[in-house]
Amino acid sequence: MRYEAPDTLQGAVALLAGAKGEARVLAGGTDLLVQMRADLVDPDLIVDIKRIPETRAITEENGSWRIGAAVTGAELKEHPRLKKVWPGVIEAANLIGSTQVQGRATLGGNLCNGSPAADSVPALIAAGAVATLAGPGGRRDLPVEDVMLGPRKLALQKGEIVVSFLLPPRPLRSSDAYLRFIPRTEMDIAVVGAGVSLTLDAGSVITGARVSLGAVAARVLLVPEAAQAIIGSRLDRPAQDRLEAAARAACRPIDDKRGTTEFRTDVAAVLARRTALIALDRARSN
Ligand SMILES: Cc1cc2nc3c(=O)[nH]c(=O)nc-3n(C[C@H](O)[C@H](O)[C@H](O)COP(=O)(O)OP(=O)(O)OC[C@H]3O[C@@H](n4cnc5c(N)ncnc54)[C@H](O)[C@@H]3O)c2cc1C
C-alpha cells in the first residue's frame, strides 16, 4: 500500500486520477482506518489531504462561510464566530463519536463515508450547504443533498475530492438545529437524525425553511414538503402537525434491530417537530 500526503489540490487529484487499483482519500481516518482494520477495504493508494491548506481553512466570504472538508469537529466547535451563525451544523458535527473522535473526524469524511445515518449531513443539507469538488476536469459545486446517492455510493467521479463546503449568508432572524435519536446517551449511530434551518420575519412568521432527515432512507433526505408545511406559519400546533405528517410521509427506512420501520417513522416525525421548535427559538433571538 502506498501512502501519499501532497500539499496541493492538484497533486492530490493527479494521484487519485492516475491510480491503478483502489485509491482512497484519508482525512481523519475514523471511518477509513476502522474499515481497513476490519478488512472491509484494502486500498492500493491512500491520499492524505490534511496538508492541503484549502481543506483545512474556515473563512468568511461576503457573509457566507467556507469550511474546509478536512476541518475537524473540534476545530468547528472552537471557532469563535461560527457557532453563533450555524449552531445546528456545529452541534451535529460535535455529536460524532467521543472527544477523541471529534479531534480527528471531519465533515468531508462524514459525508464521503456514504452513511445515511451520518450526523453532520442532515445539518449541512438543512443549512443549504454546497460542496465544492475538485477533480481531473476542474472544479464543480454540488448541493450536499446530491453528493450521496445511496449507502457507500457517491456522485463523485474518479479522482474527485470534496475540497470544502459553502454555507450561505444568513438573513436576520435565522437559525438552525440538529437532533438525533440514539438508544444511549453518546457514541452510537443515529436511529434517526433531523436538521432544520429557519428564517423568520419581524413578526416571527417563517419565511424560509429547509428540513432534512437522516437514517430514514437509503440516503439523507431533503424534505421540501416538510418545509412547505411550516412556511407562512409561526409553527403553531396545526403547522407542527403538518410538519410531522410531511416528515412521516418522506420516510422509507430499513427495518432492523436498531429500529423498526414504524419506530423510525414515528421518531422522524417527533424529531422534525422538536428540531424545528429549537431552530425557531434560536431564530427569534438572532
Ligand atoms: C468510535 C467512533 C464513533 C463514531 N461515532 C459517530 C457518530 O456518532 N456519528 C457519525 O456520523 N459518525 C460516527 N463515526 C464515524 C466517523 O467518525 C465519521 O463518519 C467521521 O466524520 C468520518 O470523518 P473522517 O475524517 O475520519 O473520515 P475518513 O475515515 O478519513 O474518511 C471516510 C471516507 O470518506 C472518504 N473521504 C474523506 N474525506 C474525503 C474528501 N474530502 N473527499 C472525498 N472523499 C473523502 C475516505 O476515502 C473514506 O472512504 C464514529 C466512528 C468511530 C470510530
Q: Each residue of 189-222: pLDDT tens digit? A: 899 999 999 999 999 999 999 999 999 999 999 9
Helix (H, G, I), strand (E, B) or coil at 208: strand
Q: What is the pLDDT of residues 58-91, one digit of tens each?
A: 999 899 999 999 999 999 999 999 999 999 999 9
- Cell match 471531519: residue? 106
Q: Is the CB of 214 under 6 A from ligand 1?
A: no
Q: Is the CB of 75 under 6 A from ligand 1?
A: no
Rounded to the nearest whole angstrom, what is the distance from the C-alpha of residue 34 to the centroid of ligand 1?
Answer: 10
For residue 33, the ligand 1 atom closest to its alpha carbon is 29
What is the reported pLDDT for 5?
A: 98
| Mean pLDDT, residues 165-179 taken together | 97
Q: What is the pLDDT of residues 102-150, one digit of tens each?
A: 999 999 999 999 999 999 999 999 999 999 999 999 999 999 999 999 9
Sign (positive or negative) of CA dihedral 267, 268, 269, 271: positive
Q: Which of 16, 24, 30 to mutate to test the pocket of ligand 1 (most atoms within 8 A of CB)?
A: 30
Per-residue confidence at 188, pLDDT binned at 50, 70, 90?
Answer: confident
Q: Is the CB of 131 under 6 A from ligand 1?
A: no
Q: Is the CB of 102 under 6 A from ligand 1?
A: no
What is the reported pLDDT for 203?
A: 96
pTM for the model: 0.97
Q: Is the CB of 94 under 6 A from ligand 1?
A: no
Rounded to the nearest whole angstrom, what is the distance from the C-alpha of residue 104 to the centroid of ligand 1?
Answer: 9
Determine how β-strand 206-214 pairs with β-strand 192-200: antiparallel
pLDDT surpasses 80 at 157: yes
Q: Is the CB of 118 under 6 A from ligand 1?
A: yes
- The Cα–Cα gap between 251 and 264 comes to 8
Rounded to the nearest whole angstrom, what is the distance from the C-alpha of residue 285 to the centroid of ligand 1?
Answer: 33
Q: Is the CB of 97 under 6 A from ligand 1?
A: yes
Rounded to the nearest whole angstrom, what is the distance from the C-alpha of residue 137 to the centroid of ligand 1?
Answer: 26
**Could you tell me which of 41, 43, 46, 2 has the C-alpha nearest to residue 28?**
46
Helices in the chain by DSSP H: which ranges?
A: 9-18, 32-37, 53-56, 73-78, 82-85, 87-93, 99-102, 107-112, 120-127, 224-230, 237-250, 261-284
Per-residue confidence at 258, pLDDT binned at 50, 70, 90?
Answer: confident
Helix (H, G, I), strand (E, B) or coil at 128: coil
Q: Which of 44, 98, 110, 156 to mutate to test the pocket of ligand 1 (most atoms within 8 A of CB)?
A: 110
Which protein residue has the closest C-alpha to ligand 1 atom 21? 110
